[in-house]
Structure 1
Amino acid sequence: MKATIYHNPECGTSRNALALIRHAGVDPVVIDYLTETPTRTRLIELIQRAGLTVRAAIRQKGTPHAELGLDDPAISDDQLLDAMLAHPVLINRPFVETELGVRLARPSETVLDILPATSVPFAKEDGEVVIDAQGNRPTTP
């Protein structure tokens, strides 16, 4: 299976998603989107295929979101996209694409929806179990 992850190595969620992809036996193309920003067309495609709105795909925490006034509901999708391309840190991460679809892998285990099934146990960096010893995805209470 082919996979591409738009990755930020400084982000724990992105690192966990990458680890899950590799755990599923997939060797992904890893794109550091902060240095290799997707084109406008590609970004729109990822957002649409993930079933998101542009506003839902923009990151607020740790970004110039507030300083740029992007929380104003009057800001158009085109203006949001312009800001995301000018400041790639505003692109929420990680976007993952496989032949089974596109997901904004937040939380990171969302990526499992578009990967081959695996029954091998897996825990995130913080120890949270994503795949248990029986090969199941634990449900949250």
Structure 2
Amino acid sequence: MEVKVEVGLSKGLENIMNRFISAIEGAGTSGIILNADQGRPVNAVAQEVKTEPVTKVESVSDVEMAKPVEEPNEEDTDEDINYPALRKEIKKLGIKLVQAKKQSEVKALTSKYGYSKMNELPDDKLVQYLEELKEIKNG
């Protein structure tokens, strides 16, 4: 029994497919196909395809489940934060709020975090602090 398969591939892909099939089947020398890109002969073999019925099907419970992908926490993205730029933005916004006569609100927010000056805030609090400064500005 001979099986013939015709696939519409470009010459380059067809060549790659033929080499792949040859490698899988043991690279015989019964057929030679010219490589369209390079003009070199490539060994290709056409063999009978034997199929056997499947006798055992593995149930889903026997298969080891893959580890689920974990969503990154906000804390994990600390590497992406440019803290000096964030501090600069906080300073600019703080100055604008003081000029807008909201100094007492800025001081209250800073003391809420346990500090007396904005530049004393630790890096891990800067994002949250900036959000609250923006609320003061918009509120």
* TM-score (norm. length: structure 2): 0.24
Which has the larger Rg? 2
The structure where strand makes up a greater share of residues is 1
Which of structures 1 and 2 has the larger relative contact order (alpha carbons within 8 angstroms, sep 6+)?
Answer: 1
The structure where helix makes up a greater share of residues is 2
